[in-house]
């Protein structure tokens, strides 16, 4: 995960540009939920109307696993609009069918709320992000672990005392995900040495199975291999050096797939090239094993 920085004013502007009446319609629906005291499924959704705002902002990547998704108009099918806080109910996490996923997480993860979700946030723009179908449907679903009590009646994600374990990557009001997760080669690890940030990193890695999914491990290994080839060629002024520098910039940019992994590798290369070479060898070994 990385942060996708955007000021609140620009966020509003981007939405108004693509869907001028969206906030009025969102408020109308929120008023209905407020009166009912629960989420009432509307006849049609309107969050897809502003989907492209998040697709563009996130560089056409999943906000959780950083996997690259289709950029063209065909990408609308592949990108899911994820409600960060579930709208109609909250399931216990880890699920009863997989209690082993809490191994090492010896701290409270929050209770389920089967009858009520975050019913005032279904049409709040700060409760959306784009995710892949694996992260959204197969892994996240209606799970949302928290430390302490839930604030199901919150009206704004930036104005709450609730302490979620998952991190919201869009905007500037939550922890920067790179302060929660870094990478050792192709494997994610908590970035903080202790405290709540370390625990958030632990939960996010396990929640989205970021250290286990074969496709992610393969793609990150390819990124490391490409960076190694680029970094050994950045010095000089010939075409090879120019291409190498461009590759490093491209692979570590916000819009790049697995940017957090790439940035961790470049930082290690700068600090300890021998250690970086060891991860390059591990990436090669992984690529060889799946070829």
pLDDT of residue 72: 78
pLDDT in tens, 261-279: 999 999 999 999 999 999 9
Cα–Cα distance, 72 to 68 (Å, whole number):
12
Tell me if 169 sits within 8 A of 1, measured CB to CB. yes
Cα distances (Å, whole numbers) of residue 249 to 108, 243, 253, 273? 40, 10, 6, 19
pLDDT of residue 170: 97
pLDDT in tens, 214-240: 999 999 999 999 999 999 999 988 999
Query: Residue 289's pLDDT band (boundaries 50, 70, 90)?
Result: very high
Quick one: average pLDDT of 125-142?
A: 94
Residue 32 has pLDDT above 90, yes or no: yes
Tell me if 203 sits within 8 A of 166, measured CB to CB. yes
Q: Tokens 């080839």 label which residue?
A: 229
Mean pLDDT of the chain: 94
Residue 99 has pLDDT above 90, yes or no: no
- Select from 127, 151, 122, 168 the least CA-distant residue to 27: 122
Domain assignments of the chain as residue spans, ordered by start: 8-207, 214-290
pLDDT in tens, 147-189: 999 999 999 999 999 999 999 999 999 999 999 999 999 999 9
Q: How many residues comprise the chain? A: 291
Residue 123 has pLDDT above 90, yes or no: yes
pLDDT of residue 22: 96
Cα–Cα distance, 120 to 100 (Å, whole number):
33
Dihedral of the CA atoms 151, 209, 51, 25 (nearest 10)? -20
pLDDT of residue 291: 63
Handedness of CA 135, 202, 60, 91 (dihedral sign): positive
Cα–Cα distance, 8 to 269 (Å, whole number):
35
Tell me if 131 sits within 8 A of 82, measured CB to CB. yes
Tell me if 63 sits within 8 A of 4, measured CB to CB. yes
**Beta strands in 63-186, from DSSP E residues, in sequence order:** 80-83, 128-131, 146-147, 163-164, 181-184
Cα–Cα distance, 138 to 265 (Å, whole number):
29
Considering the chain, what percentage of its residues have pLDDT values greater than 70?
Answer: 100
pLDDT of residue 39: 95
- Select from 125, 172, 143 the least CA-distant residue to 19: 125
Q: pTM score, two decimals? A: 0.93
Tell me if 257 sits within 8 A of 68, measured CB to CB. yes
Considering the chain, what percentage of its residues have pLDDT values greater than 90?
Answer: 88
Q: Cα 126 vs. chain centroid, distance in angstroms?
A: 14
Residue 35 has pLDDT above 90, yes or no: yes
Residue 7 has pLDDT above 70, yes or no: yes
- Select from 71, 104, 27 the least CA-distant residue to 256: 71
Q: Tokens 């094993």 label which residue?
A: 289
């Amino acid at each position: 995960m990385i942060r996708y920085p955007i000021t609140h004013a620009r966020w509003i502007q981007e939405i108004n540009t693509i869907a001028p009446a969206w906030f009025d319609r969102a408020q109308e629906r929120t008023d209905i939920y407020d009166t009912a005291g629960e989420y009432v499924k509307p006849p049609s959704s309107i969050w897809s109307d502003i989907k492209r705002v998040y697709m563009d902002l996130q560089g056409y990547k999943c906000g959780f696993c950083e996997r690259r998704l289709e950029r063209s108009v065909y990408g609308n099918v592949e990108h899911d609009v994820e409600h960060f806080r579930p709208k109609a109910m909250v399931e216990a996490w880890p699920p009863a069918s997989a209690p082993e996923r809490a191994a090492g997480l010896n701290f409270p993860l929050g209770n389920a709320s089967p009858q009520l979700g975050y019913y005032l946030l279904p049409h709040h723009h700060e409760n959306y992000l784009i995710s892949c179908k694996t992260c959204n449907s197969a892994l996240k679903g209606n799970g949302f672990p928290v430390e302490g009590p839930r604030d199901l009646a919150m009206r704004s994600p930036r104005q709450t005392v609730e302490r979620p374990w998952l991190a919201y990557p869009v905007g500037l009001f939550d922890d920067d995900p790179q302060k929660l997760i870094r990478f050792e080669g192709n494997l994610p690890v908590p970035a903080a040495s202790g405290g709540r940030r370390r625990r958030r990193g632990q939960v996010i890695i396990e929640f989205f199975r970021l250290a286990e999914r074969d496709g992610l491990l393969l793609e990150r290994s390819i990124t490391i291999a490409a960076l190694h080839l680029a970094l050994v060629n950045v010095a000089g002024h010939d075409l090879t050096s120019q291409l190498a520098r461009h590759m490093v910039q491209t692979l570590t940019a916000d819009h790049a797939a697995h940017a957090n992994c790439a940035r961790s590798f470049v930082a290690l290369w700068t600090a300890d090239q021998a250690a970086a070479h060891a991860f390059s060898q591990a990436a090669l070994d992984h690529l060889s094993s799946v070829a």
